[in-house]
Structure 1
């Protein structure tokens, strides 16, 4: 479904009930050492667990955060170590079960908003470390809130069909033909990072095709476009320097631009805390993704004459509202103001993101590498006319040699009411 990682609750495939051995029970009761807890914390940050299982301003891992999906609202689980409402009574085996099989201890099914399709690749050792960390945080007594899903999606048994179509269980297997760094990056991107949850198109059933992995798609209910990581026409990093990639992942800004919207949240909650070695490994893997020709978008809905009018109107609006930061030549003023000229994110077949930025503005994340981020102000009120927004977005997508297509006032109007997060 979406990159929502909702119920992150412990579970095992309870097809057969087994009595745990005395040794296993003793191992569960043995306190984890500080190194294991620290490693688990780092892994939980890589998995971005806090983003879904902690309410803004709420208690750590207490859950209850609403996650809108095309099928209704899912509320994330309490994964603090409270024995009654959290994971306090679960074993390491139980926790590995949810990561690996997407089932609760009683065998019931998790909804796939929890990215167990990616987390199944997490190794047992890493799962145990994450569990040790979660057991070390303060317990919070807060019962899970029932999901609010429409019929028939509130029938969990239907998930069996989804799993048959879209779920493949199994730990990550390194590619012996690749370097250790590449394999580490693949493990983080494909598994804990669950990057494909956003960067792969979602179909009507809430699933995605493995053959289309990382080729980009609209994030349902959030109305942001997660660009293709396999096409250099979108967010493919094949021609980027490794330093630019690592800067973008670690701090949210680089010489090539900045991240906004959902990706800014990922950097803020997760990537900025990863080690330099892990960030470099992810950069190596992402850079090596085989470039593929991005599918052409739908033909523009405006005529050439209208495009010309939009361009001239957009140029005037740009000069009055945008040039002071981004320059009359569109080259920006790095690192504070990203360039718009020759900017891949401006020229993609989908115009959703530049329209959203003009309407709603945004900030790169505040990180150690970018502690005082410069933001883009919203222009939804300054430019209340949809034609004006369409004009300025058309201008920046087609000026300075940019190869984007014009946008229409209808496209703008459809995004005026989009959620801000």
Structure 2
């Protein structure tokens, strides 16, 4: 049922995105469903995994037997060209020569099994590379989603302030014509409006960049505009207080795919060393031979065995290479483990700081702006408050509202960074 719902949702997404410029109201989980189905990089990694799985099949296969056939071209005794099988002389001895040989190569010292093990480890590396790419892309998608969500909220604040200033300017123009207010006052308000419109334009540029990133990650081929939706109460309810640094580090060391990839690389080099040592042992090539007239005995049958002698080449160089690569891989694993511990510690501290700052921030200013503006405008028109106080109200409200949204955005990105560094969704985002 869930799979059917996913298919239906993706179909609706494609239909809704047919016309360029369409807006799509979407939640984070819905966006992730599209991303998992349509991201080209993830598809490429999946094909790489299948290619490695096919290499396991290939490694398990036996070498093909070889068949050789020898035919006499010219018999100088009978003066016949390509004499056919069955001609004998007066004594019954064959006068034509045909020889057939069938050979099969047998790998010794378990070389075939060791090649299969190498192919299996290579497949595990491809799988972990996929999960590492998934981890990074999901982190990027979520950051862009919440960036865009809070940029939309900030843009709404700018729209409300600019719309209010436009109304104020209309009234001030009338008062200016009547000579009630000086031109310097209306000039200050016009300058404030210009500043707000310039800042709003910069916000829109940032939103365009986030939109482009989301379209790239989700594989959207048309210029669909995502409108992120989120539950504010659910966002506020997200908590990191139950997490401990030690548990996060343990989770990361157990689940991080980039660490698993390094561990797989070490395992591969260890298996390769075993394989290179096995290559010291020569392989056996066995077969059967039939020779009609080229031997001292007519219709000669024999078994053949062939093996190289490991006198000069004992694969010494490749064994040394494998040994040094193991040492290198071990150091890379140690380095990656230390990097992960550092990443988790930093992400955890940043998330604590962002969460604490957000929860202690005074949210009292987040009141109905329209009602507040009516009071401020009325007091300004009655000259109860000065022009400086009037402009200061706009700037203070904008600064506080923008700062609040920035704190919320930083908090969500910091929380998602914990998931990213832990290699697992330890905190579920709404």
Q: How does the TM-score come out when normalised to structure 2? A: 0.23
User: Taking CA–CA contacts closer than 8 Å with sequence separation of 6 or more, which of the two structures ends up with the larger relative contact order?
Assistant: 2
Larger Rg: 2
Q: How does the TM-score come out when normalised to structure 1? A: 0.23
The structure whose residues are more often strand, as a share, is 2
